[in-house]
Structure 1
Amino acid sequence: ERVREFARFRPDLSFCAEAGGEIVGLVRLWDIHIGAIPALFLGPLAVHTGRRLDGLGGRLVAHAGAAADALGEGPILLVGDPPFFERFGYAVPPTAGVRLPGPVDPKRVLARGAAGPLAGSVRP
């Protein structure tokens, strides 16, 4: 949440899922830098309670990642549950040198699309 306080929202890379005229899920991406590297931050990912077991969250994550790849964007960073996000190419090891604002469990900081280890403070 602290990252979203200063990052620039990317509506072109953020998506909602609708069912019956209601929003049942969303994912948002934000412009950041990790040190000097331009990157994106993923969050929040939110899915209506009644839709959590049908793969909607995974489809939103995959769609946002594919849209970012299509635009040639850099790595995507997030704070989340490794078993969920690892199936979409996110991993903890490239993030060992990343410094996020506020307290964060380093075992929950993941990235995908990095050419190598990421290091430095997350900033606008």
Structure 2
Amino acid sequence: MKKFKRLGFFLNNDDLIIINDICKKTKLNKSALLRHLLRSSKYLEIANKLEKHNNLINEFLAEIHRIGNNINQIAYHLNIDITKHEESQESLKKELAELLPLLKEYKDKAFKATLDIAPKKFKTIKVENE
């Protein structure tokens, strides 16, 4: 069985108000909140995962933007009759062929990593006086 130790420390009024507000919002008592904050490395991991997801989305959007620009150029050239219809059709097929694997890669990467951001609930354990 685990042994638990009681720990006492002092807070100024401002810190106590902050802790009480957080306890009200999270519906945790002070002991559970402090244990929760001590285990904040999990939240750092989640923040890192979110940052990686954001970077992945940014890369994906940049690629989509590049391909969209290419498609707009193809449409522009079609409208002013600089390129032949067959040539433009081939360019469009090529751009779409690049887009499909990119979409699949994004889908695979985005759904492979799951984000577990629900906070873990900690029980308050009453320690009998030693």
Q: Which structure is higher in strand share?
A: 1
Q: Which structure is higher in helix share?
A: 2
> TM-score, normalised to structure 1's length?
0.24
Larger Rg: 2
> TM-score, normalised to structure 2's length?
0.23
Greater relative CO, 1 or 2 (CA 8 Å, sep 6+): 2
